[in-house]
Amino acid sequence: MSQGNKFNRRSLLKSSLAVMAGGMAGVNARKLEGEPAIQNVNPHSSPSQLKITDMRYAIITKPGPSPCPLIRIDTNQGVYGLGEVRDVANYQYAMVLKSRLVGENPLQVDYLFEKIAQFGGISRQAGGVAAVEMALWDIAGKVYNIPIYQMLGGKWRDKVRIYADTTESDDPKEYARRAKERKAMGLTWMKMDLGIVMLKGQPGMVMEPSGMSNIW
């Protein structure tokens, strides 16, 4: 190797170190000025040490379907998650699961879901398990600072068409009135709860033992 090559490489190395040193000095200066060194990271969470410390509930009465039980799962790092006990189910469906959750890492969502799934059921009986899972995903999203849908495989669409519930009635004209009212609000997808209540007072329409129905 010639002296010229040695000199050139040595000069290049010195120049590179000088540039790096200048860059680091700039970073240190920004730190002194108060600029955070790391961006887009939740500084209040250390995921591997995260533990559930408590679970509480609140009953929301208005607006919307009432009553609406919400649960809150708290952690040892100040991050909390919220979940809804669906379809006005009782909050106790969720609260009986508290003893099985305290002390666990809430980021182990699938593990905890399998742990409590046996205490769920169909319809409103699933409300507690569903609320807990919802709150766990809420915590995970806050800790990793990304939308929950990204954790579940990514976004499929940019908008979702919503529907309006017209609620049950024994008068077909009432359904029509509610449908028109909701259409005027800009809603174009209706849900009709058509039940046997509409057959009230019409003999021979429902076959069942006498005294079994409370709609007559």
pLDDT in tens, 13-40: 455 545 444 544 444 444 444 444 445 5
Q: Would you state the pLDDT for residue 62? A: 74
Q: Would you state the pLDDT for residue 61? A: 84
Token couple for 206: 């429902």
Do 113 and 119 form a contact (C-beta atoms < 8 A)? no
- Rounded to whole angstroms, how far apart are CA atoms 106 and 135? 9
What contacts 168, CB < 8 A, 6 or more positions away? 193, 194, 195, 197
Q: Which fold has domain 47-151?
A: Enolase-like; domain 1 (3.30.390)
Which of helix, strand or coil describes residue 211?
Answer: coil
Q: Would you state the pLDDT for residue 18? A: 52
Q: Would you state the pLDDT for residue 15? A: 55
pTM of the complete model: 0.65
Token couple for 213: 């129905």
Q: Would you state the pLDDT for residue 25? A: 46
Q: Which residues pair with 190 in a beta bridge?
A: 164
Q: Would you state the pLDDT for residue 105? A: 96
- Rounded to whole angstroms, how far apart are CA atoms 212 and 85? 30
Residues of the chain under the 50 pLDDT cut: 1-7, 12-13, 17, 19-21, 23-38, 216
164-165 vs 190-191, strand pairing mode: parallel
Q: Which residues pair with 191 in a beta bridge?
A: 165
Q: Would you state the pLDDT for residue 30? A: 41
